[in-house]
Amino acid sequence: MVLCPVIGKLQHKRVVLASASPRRQEILSNAGLRFEVVPSRFKEKLHKASFATPYAYAVETAKQKALEVAGRMHQKDLRAPDVVIGADTIVAVGAMILEKPVDKQDAYRMLSRLNGKEHSVFTGVAIVHCCSKDGRLDTEVSEFYEETTVKFSELSEELLWEYINSGEPMDKAGGYGIQALGGMLVEYVHGDFLNVVGFPLNHFCKELARLYYPPRPADLRRVRHDSIPAVDTFENLSDSEAGGADPGQSAKGGRGGEQADGDRSQAPRALDAALNGADSRPRFPTGLLELMDGFKASKSREVGLECWPCGRLWDPAALLAGQQVDGGPQDTSCLQGRPGLPMADHADQAGVCWGSWSKCHPPPPKVLFTACKLKLFDVLKDQGPLQAVDVARKLSTCAGRTEQLLDVCAALGLLEKTRRGYSNTEVATLHLVSDGEHSLQGVAEYNDAHVWGVFTRLGLAVREGAEQTRGALGAMEEERLSQSRELTLQFMRAKHSLSKLTAHHVATAFDLSRFASACDLGGCTGILARELAQEYPRLQVTVFDLPEVTELSGGFQRGGRQTERIRFVPGDFFKDSLPEADLYVLSRMLQDWPDDKLHKLLSRISSSCKPGGGLLVAEAAAEEEGASQSPRLRTLSAGQPRSPDEHRRLLQRHGFQDVRVARAGDLLCVVLGTRAAP
């Protein structure tokens, strides 16, 4: 659940918190914000007397902290983050400003001043939007402050010293920490508690709402005269209705801003839609995954050898040569009879005669993989729109070939081509930029480096009758396991990025609150475990995966409260005993294994599962009984999707009853069975 969808507005931006304060980091990460921490080096010694009010001092200090970090980061890699957040908390007794005590005596002086009295805590916050153009850093600063009143009880000398000797006052403004032992000194608080702790989260969200959702004309008539939107406005804003403007875009009058405003003035923001759709997760990128993945389906049923655009016939063995086309000269003559036909339409046909199509033209997945490998989308994200020659210069590639690559990417809907040059489309910004929260670069990398190779061998294999699809994929799996750490990491990155897109759907397809513990078998980097822990506050989750995977999973973790309830256990689910759990989870696992292994795994789970315990299975959904051709979500999976009935029978065969099936997120089939008494 996202309480404040406006936080999601920062989701696809590179956000930096310019603060070393662990409290600020915790407040913001608990709110669901993803950010890097770069403590500011700005020395907090502005001349206090030159400020008319204590809060003006706090705001200016916050701003200087953030600007210092933006400038330093820009200088360091000529690339500033998108947003830098700075904050400064001070305690004010009248006009006197108290910051962090320098030693115990100083702490004593401060606490004595606060003793038995009311004081104000101000936190100044600066949100700096950055943009680098032609090596120059441009910034737009939004700033605000929040005030909270705190009253201390009458405290004895002895108690004050005891508190000082606890060490708690030293890194805190005014010499106390209200969130810990210092809470005992406080008689009352008026205002935002988190503001005292170091960050006014509520006001921050309102400020984001003000920046990212400028008022609609209709709202202007009834807006209140303060600049802050009413409390109930930001909680109800939805990202899913294309409603959000980017402050950068709206300032520049860019297309995104215009579109958003246009939409909003026509359709009043439905409260319902906002509440139901208040989820900052992006839509499932079906088209993109099909593009990355479609070659598996087409290779698997590759019998038609007639190229759709040109009608030429090809030998299956020639499919192997399909890989060579991305560097070599292109034969595009067969497209000439159909001028203007988008490449994507050719790609659609690829399911019928993919191999021959790929011989004539660079196959779309290869184009995509090559563009990712060259970091094309990263360059355009930071510096686009760019002309082909400029892209070629930045990538150190051949200008002519780069233009071809850009044109194909544009035809595939990954780039937009205008007179100003090429820029990323929304799907590319979301999923093809390497550092994006929902980047699928890992999938592209893995498919390109490994899966492609396996499937290009498949044509030959089918022709010679040597192997079946699963055999080929089994070989891939063996290859994966026997190879290096880098290969494992590549696989993990791919699985990690896909799981981010599906985990929420899997975790919420059924109400799992009756289970106290869960074990995610083959849980890899723990993305689903995290989602489960987040959804079910009392659930303890074990991630069980091969030792080489659990060993590397640490690199994928980020903090947060849920992590305390997640543990990683190394092991092989075919050999080792399974960790005890009320609920076993297999997410996008079953398709990976040939039938013998699949039944072995299910019977091992069945024997470990206590009566009343559960098994949750999530797989790519087959469209209907027997229909199993969709390449959707088959990424990293070997076999064919099963229909809901096939899943039901599978679980029943292994002792699970009351099997329920749900479609989740359109593309997933999630199945929950309860272990019957033996």
**Which residues are tagged catalytic?**
88
| Stretch 364-393 residues interacting with ligand M5T (CB under 6 A) | none
| Stretch 603-642 residues interacting with ligand M5T (CB under 6 A) | none
Cβ proximity to ligand M5T, 40 vs 542, nearer residue? 40
Region binding ligand M5T by CB under 6 A among candidate stretches 7-15, 171-179, 355-363, 533-541: 171-179
Instruction: Name the minimum Å distance from CB 427 to ligand M5T.
Output: 36
Region binding ligand M5T by CB under 6 A among candidate stretches 15-23, 229-237, 333-341, 549-557: 15-23
Instruction: Name the minimum Å distance from CB 99 to ligand M5T.
Output: 6
Cβ proximity to ligand M5T, 197 vs 539, nearer residue? 197
Residues 6+ apart with CB under 8 A from 125: 59, 62, 85, 86, 87, 143, 144, 145, 146, 199, 200, 203, 204, 207
Cβ proximity to ligand M5T, 97 vs 472, nearer residue? 97
| 69 φ/ψ angles, rounded to the nearest 5 degrees | -70, -45
Q: What is the DSSP string of 356-408?
A: HHHHHS--HHHHHHHHHHTTHHHHHHHH-SB-HHHHHHHHT--HHHHHHHHHH
Q: What is the dihedral of CA 474, 626, 503, 634, to 10 degrees?
A: 40
| 540 φ/ψ angles, rounded to the nearest 5 degrees | -100, 130
- Write out the H or E segment, with its range, that includes residue 569: strand 566-570
Instruction: Name the minimum Å distance from CB 263 to ligand M5T.
Output: 38
Among 115, 179, 468, 517, binds ligand M5T (CB under 6 A): 179
> What residues pair up with 585 in beta bridges, in sequence order?
520, 616
Cβ proximity to ligand M5T, 179 vs 323, nearer residue? 179
The distance in angstroms from the start CA to the end CA of the chain is 38
4: its two tokens: 């404040």
- Interaction between residue 19 and ligand M5T (CB under 6 A): yes
Cβ proximity to ligand M5T, 170 vs 242, nearer residue? 170
Q: What is the dihedral of CA 414, 418, 423, 429, to 10 degrees?
A: -50
- Interaction between residue 167 and ligand M5T (CB under 6 A): no
* Residues constituting the chain: 678
- Interaction between residue 39 and ligand M5T (CB under 6 A): yes
Pairing of strands 83-93, 15-17: parallel
Instruction: Name the residue with the smallest CB distance to ligand M5T.
Output: 198
Whole-angstrom distance, CA of residue 530 vs CA of residue 401: 43
Other CB atoms within 10 Å distance of the CB of residue 479: 13
Query: How is the beta sheet containing 614-620 ordered, strand by strand?
Result: 566-570, 540-545, 517-521, 583-587, 614-620, 668-675, 656-664
Instruction: Name the minimum Å distance from CB 3 to ligand M5T.
Output: 22
Among 92, 111, 128, 196, binds ligand M5T (CB under 6 A): 196
- Interaction between residue 115 and ligand M5T (CB under 6 A): no
Among 197, 274, 307, 343, binds ligand M5T (CB under 6 A): 197
Cβ proximity to ligand M5T, 179 vs 608, nearer residue? 179
Instruction: Name the minimum Å distance from CB 90 to ligand M5T.
Output: 7
Among 13, 172, 269, 495, binds ligand M5T (CB under 6 A): 172
Region binding ligand M5T by CB under 6 A among candidate stretches 49-57, 167-175, 444-452, 537-545: 167-175
Region binding ligand M5T by CB under 6 A among candidate stretches 83-91, 250-258, 274-282, 607-615: 83-91
Q: Which 8-state DSSP code applies to residue 536? A: S
Omega cis (within 30) before 385:
yes
Cβ proximity to ligand M5T, 12 vs 65, nearer residue? 65
Whole-angstrom distance, CA of residue 62 vs CA of residue 51: 14
Burial class (CB in 10 A: 0-12, 13-18, 19+), 104: middle
> Residue type for 535, please?
E
Spell out, one character per residue from 44 to 73, where the chain touches ligand M5T: x when CB under 6 A holds, - when not: x--------------------x--------
Among 100, 359, 431, 565, binds ligand M5T (CB under 6 A): 100
Whole-angstrom distance, CA of residue 600 vs CA of residue 598: 5
| Stretch 120-159 residues interacting with ligand M5T (CB under 6 A) | 121
Region binding ligand M5T by CB under 6 A among candidate stretches 176-184, 230-238, 493-501, 558-566: 176-184
Cβ proximity to ligand M5T, 122 vs 568, nearer residue? 122
Among 80, 178, 412, 503, binds ligand M5T (CB under 6 A): 178
Whole-angstrom distance, CA of residue 342 vs CA of residue 352: 17
Region binding ligand M5T by CB under 6 A among candidate stretches 169-177, 438-446, 472-480, 585-593: 169-177
Instruction: Name the minimum Å distance from CB 210 to ligand M5T.
Output: 23
3 state DSSP class of 125: strand
Other CB atoms within 10 Å distance of the CB of residue 220: 9
Cβ proximity to ligand M5T, 178 vs 533, nearer residue? 178
- Interaction between residue 23 and ligand M5T (CB under 6 A): yes
Residues 6+ apart with CB under 8 A from 388: 399, 402, 403, 406, 421, 422
Region binding ligand M5T by CB under 6 A among candidate stretches 82-90, 286-294, 319-327, 373-381: 82-90
Cβ proximity to ligand M5T, 114 vs 461, nearer residue? 114
Among 89, 540, 553, 591, binds ligand M5T (CB under 6 A): 89
- Binding positions for ligand M5T, rule: CB under 6 A: 19-21, 23, 39-40, 44, 65, 87-89, 91, 100, 121, 171-174, 176-179, 182, 196-198
